[in-house]
Amino acid sequence: MTERQKDRPWLMRTYAGHSTAEASNELYRRNLAKGQTGLSVAFDLPTQTGYDPDHVLARGEVGRVGVPVSHLGDMRRLFQDIPLEQMNTSMTINATAMWLLALYQVVAEEQGADVTKLQGTTQNDIVKEYLSRGTHVFPPGPSLRLTTDMIAYTVSHIPKWNPINICSYHLQEAGATPVQEIAYAMSTAIAVLDAVRDSGQVPQERMGDVVGRISFFVNAGVRFVEEMCKMRAFGRIWDTVTRERYGIENPKHRRFRYGVQVNSLGLTEAQPENNVQRIVLEMLAVTLSKDARARAVQLPAWNEALGLPRPWDQQWSLRIQQVLAYESDLLEYEDIFEGSKVIEAKVGELVAEATAEIERIQEMGGAMAAVESGYLKSQLVSSHAARRARIESGEEKIIGVNAFEGTEPNPLTADLDTAIQTVDPAVEARVIASLQNWRDTRYQPPFNHPRPCKALEKLKEAARGTDNLMEATLECARAGVTTGEWAGALREVFGEFRAPTGVSSAPVAVTAEEGSALSEVRRKVELTAKDLGVGKLRFLVGKPGLDGHSNGAEQIAVRARDAGFEVVYQGIRLTPEQIVDAALAEDVHAVGLSILSGSHAQLVPDVLERLRVAGATDIPVIAGGIIPSGDAEQLRAAGVAAVFTPKDFDITGIIGRIVDEIRNANKLDPLEVPA
């Protein structure tokens, strides 16, 4: 047998960051020592949405889903003893991407690095934030300008950096079909490239350099043949778009470059050990095919549906990749699907359907117009509702959830409190104290930063004009400006944006014919409204804090609407005070709070207390999200009527329970429902 030249493995990353810059730095150095080949930084929600840790909206969110970076001092500490010139660092950051890249560049300069050698990626895809993840800050126009300015800056100053990672990952989490995932990501890429081309900041002969640094961040679900075909279709469409629309002749520049985080939405809380084989199958979708292989892969941990993974769980996910890359013979062969009629037919079908949808979006005026009109969001909410309906009916089987539910006791989760990592609630106070200290001492030795007010004024001046915003942002970073101050200055000029929710225009996903589960719940809703002497029951769905993952809240809102409720849903990012004010003003009969970021322990009791003070104790509060069982018990003890987690997949049943809680709170007799 002739010796084959083995391919190099993809970059292996673990998405990580929590609590503080110090704790995350320790974790990164440990992971690099275990053979990880790139860093992937998770930032906490205040950092992602441009708030300092002491802002009212940051309460309960500091250090929860990532690391808080409030200023240059935090960034220094995050990468202490890690030579940035030798690293490949991915930063999952969008609205505040320019700010974080500026901090990263300044720390690299302080380390003595050659900035032109810095390698890595900033996600910087704002379109999917409006649609699925909710960490947007500014309206679409100014957001696109920030993205454009940053791309133009990196092409000239940090040529090895990927300034945008067009991210269809969260679109799949929000319900996108493979066709929608391709079409919406490509439409975003077209909007960004058009904006860079039309800005005049990059000469036409350098557009190849821009296209060559655009990377994508995709999701891979468990239907791994379809997912692999999706990646081939992505590559084919990208090649056509870049050649025909932008005249890019160099095939190296046109190469579809992508990284992957495999699907976290499909991980189950029930029988979580099954998540290991799901993760393996999803990884195969993006590694098996040489011609459509990912450049970088990060895998979730088996217990992510339960809470924050521990270092050991992350190590297990890294080892899954290493076994495939180093023990198997995968990297010794050319593309093993070349010439397959089955694969070719599926790829052709995806290309045709995705191209048609891209053209439809272009006719609307492009991705930004389709965001502002609400078209993209309502399409995703509809697709997600249809998927939920298939799971509820049993048409789509999920092992351990709606099929083969019987299980042996699970030794991995025997002690749930030790099966996940918890963030010490005292971290928030420490981070706030550290921020206060930074604000008080940034002008003094050893830092001697210039006064930040001058840098912030220059930033606002640039924002009002047409100058590239990166230079003014770098000046802010060097002046010791905080994340909240930088974003606050731009909020003053650009304003803020509340994205369409997509709920009102979503079609009915589950029919309510006689005898169906939904028709029974509708009857309960009507009878309860009659018993209370009101025309309709009113239900407020609230998203307190900064958690922008609104999929669950949207699906509950849509199903409650279909069951006959009048639904009040104002979207994401609300304070407990705003939620209670709305509940009282709208005279609602129940409040549902959805939180996936872990801030439930602080924010839910706050809502309860405010309702109590207002004398509205007859309004039951229901909580939903990733809530560990110990926390759920505490919430119920604090007065929460019911707690639902991802294992409660029967949405119609949840709506029925909400009606029961309304009757209970109003001292009405329980309704008999036919078995």
Classify residue 547 by its DSSP letter: -
Q: Per the residue annotation, which of 128, 346, 549, 600 is the catalytic one?
A: 549
Pairing of strands 214-218, 258-261: parallel
Q: Which residues contact 404 (CB under 8 A, 6 or more apart)?
A: none
Buried b / exposed e across 190-215, counting CB within 10 Å, b at 16+? bbbbbbbbebebbeeeebbbbbbbbb
- Token pair, residue 176, equals 């996108």
* Cα–Cα distance measured from residue 332 to residue 304, given in angstroms and rounded to the nearest whole number: 33
Q: Per the residue annotation, which of 543, 589, 606, 660 is the catalytic one?
A: 543
Q: Is 600 a catalytic residue?
A: no
On whether the CB atoms of residues 120 and 91 are closer than 8 A, the answer is yes
HEC profile of 304-321: CCCCECCHHHHHHHHHHH
* Cα–Cα distance measured from residue 522 to residue 243, given in angstroms and rounded to the nearest whole number: 54
Chain centroid to CA 189:
18
Q: Is 51 a catalytic residue?
A: no
Q: Per the residue annotation, which of 15, 130, 258, 569 is the catalytic one?
A: 15
- Up-side HSE of residue 300: CA atoms within 13 Å toward CB? 28
Q: Per the residue annotation, which of 104, 169, 246, 258 is the catalytic one?
A: 169
User: Which residue shows structure tokens 């929710």?
Assistant: 501
Helix segments in 205-340, DSSP class H = 207-212, 224-246, 274-285, 311-322
Counted residue by residue, the chain has a size of 675
On whether the CB atoms of residues 219 and 262 are closer than 8 A, the answer is yes
HEC profile of 506-518: CCCCCCCCCCCHH
Q: Is 169 a catalytic residue?
A: yes
DSSP characters for 651-672?
Answer: HHHHHHHHHHHHHHHTTPPPPP
Q: Is 71 a catalytic residue?
A: no
HEC profile of 183-196: HHHHHHHHHHHHHH
Q: Per the residue annotation, which of 18, 71, 128, 170 is the catalytic one?
A: 170
Pairing of strands 164-167, 161-162: unpaired
Q: Is 170 a catalytic residue?
A: yes
* Cα–Cα distance measured from residue 170 to residue 162, given in angstroms and rounded to the nearest whole number: 19
Q: Is 15 a catalytic residue?
A: yes
Q: Which residues pair with 643 in a beta bridge?
A: 623
* Cα–Cα distance measured from residue 284 to residue 262, given in angstroms and rounded to the nearest whole number: 10
Active site residues: 15, 169-170, 543, 547, 549
